[in-house]
A = this chain, B = another copy of it.
Amino acid sequence: MSTVGNSTNIFWQESPIGKLERQKLLNQKGCVVWITGLSGSGKSTLACSLSKELYTKGKLSYILDGDNLRHGLNKDLGFKAEDRTENIRRVGEVAHLFADAGLICIASLISPYRKDRDACRAMLPDSNFIEVYMNMPLALCEERDPKGLYKLARAGKIKGFTGIDDPYEPPLNCEIEINQKDGVCPIPSAMAGEVVTYLEDKGYLQD
């Protein structure tokens, strides 16, 4: 019996079918690919392309998209600092569950603060947290502005927008960094290819 957080009298229930058995069924290793970067840096594009590449290899992935989760699990949260932290904490916990289920969980969130991302990394033992930093210049992201949000932020209609009036803290030790090459952004399949190669090299695409 234990006391955890606000709960008491909570027991841990162990299942006879664990992560190893599920990984064997799927012939892959569960992990979290955490894509971080500015709005418009290409996080969702990479997530979709990666999920497609993995599917063609017969691998099961699932995308946790920050925006999509705000329609469901996190619909009670806004954008003030503590809500952003709680948003990322919950996505981290759910990503952890998906990795435990044996899936390659692709989390796609701005996740601007280093401490929030590191807290998610700490949830995953055995270095199954693969941080992918979309290192694209703010000017490029703002030029793309796929959702028209930079325009609103510059006009002062959105407050606390990452990159404009709220900081983005780049990772210090991420596993993968996606950059422009000679001022040109890699195409989606090339970005996905970088991640797939990493996963292959580290043995995630077999059990």
Contact = CB atoms under 8 A, between A and B. Distances in A.
Interface of A: 1, 4-7, 9-13, 15-17, 21-22, 25-26, 44, 47-48, 51-52, 55, 58, 60-65, 67-68, 70-79, 83, 86, 90, 93-94, 96-98, 100-103, 108, 123, 147-149, 152, 158
B75 A6 contact: yes
A100 to B, nearest CB: 8
Q: How many copies does the complex hold?
A: 2
A44 B16 CA distance: 11
A15 B93 contact: no
Given A22-B60, A44-B13, A94-B73, A78 B152 contact: no
Nearest to A147: B11
5 contacts: A6-B76, A7-B70, A7-B75, A60-B60, A73-B97
A99 B24 CA distance: 20
Contacts of A55: 17, 21, 25
Contact of A67 (B11, B64, B108): B11
A90 B91 CA distance: 12
Contact of A72 (B11, B52, B96): B96
Given A97-B62, A101-B103, A147 B72 contact: no
Contacts of A70: 4-5, 7, 10
Contacts of A78: 6-7
A12 B11 CA distance: 37
Given A15-B63, A48-B16, A94-B73, A149 B5 contact: no
A114 B4 CA distance: 27
A145 to B, nearest CB: 12
